[in-house]
Every structure is written in structure tokens, then in C-alpha cells.
Amino acid sequence: MYSSKVMEHFLNPRNVGEIKGANGIGEVGNPVCGDIMRMEIRVVDNRIEDIRFKTFGCGAAIATSSMVTEMVKGKTLEEAMRVTNKAVAEALDGLPPVKMHCSNLAADALHRAIQDYLNKEPSKGKALYEQD
């Protein structure tokens, strides 16, 4: 039912936990099932230097959380903002159709964390959007 990548990330999730001194936090809930994902980032010089997550949810939600942290660690905010939920699911070699709604959390939580960072650092946000 699940790809080997989903199982691998579910059984050995990367970057679980919290960040001391996180400067962006994003939390989203899945209206379909009520599961919750929290993403914390530390941004330094416009790059995601560190990222951690806590997910109260199913195996697919944990696997997508883990995968998105690996995809964006070390990336610029612009690159991270371009990562979509679909790209995360594809990086895991897909999810079963009945679990696709579980992939709607990871990139959304990441983008909210970035938005939170930009709200706290408005001058950085201006620079980000001027480049786009």
C-alpha cells in the first residue's frame, strides 16, 4: 500500500522536535481527520539553517513532514516557498489515493513558518518579494 520511501520516513523520521531560537513557526490542521502538524525553522541569511517538526497524525503525515524537512534544509526561502504538497508526495513516490489528503499538511506548515518569519522580519519579506 505504501512506497518503501514512505515506510522508511515513517519508521525513521528526520528532523523531529523543536528548535531553540526558532524564528518561524507554522502550524496547520487537517480538516479531513483533525491531525495537526507543527513546523519550526531557524532562518539565517535568507536560508533555512534548521527545521524541525512535530506531527500528531498518521504515518503518511509523519512521512511527508520528514520528507519536506529534508527537501528544504539549507535552501533559500524562495526555493522553500516553491515546494508544493504535490512535490513532497512525489518525492515519496506517491501516496495511496485514500491518503492523498494527508499530503496537504507538510508544505502548508512550512510556508506558514516562512510567513511567520517574514511577519516578524518585514524588511526580509520585502527583499524576498522583490526578488520574485
In the complex, the smallest distance separating the C-beta of residue 63 from ligand FES, rounded to whole angstroms, is: 10
Site residues for ligand FES, window 6-65 (CB under 6 A)?
A: 30, 33, 35, 57-58, 60-61
Please name the amino acid found at residue 54: K
CA distance 17 to 108: 18
Cα distances from 96 to residues 47, 59, 86, 93, in angstroms, run 33, 12, 13, 10
Examine residue 113 and tell whether it contacts ligand FES (CB under 6 A): no
How many Cβ atoms sit within 10 Å of the Cβ of residue 123? 8
Q: Which is nearer to ligand FES, 109 or 118 (CB)?
A: 109
Rounded CA separation 91/86 (Å): 9
Rounded Cα distance, 102 and 25, in Å: 20
Rounded to the nearest whole angstrom, what is the least distance from the CB of residue 89 to ligand FES in the complex? 12
* CB nearer ligand FES, residue 30 or residue 66: 30
From 22, 72, 88, 102, active-site residue = 102
Give me the residues that bind ligand FES (CB under 6 A), please. Answer: 30, 33, 35, 57-58, 60-61, 102
Which residues are the active-site residues? 33, 102
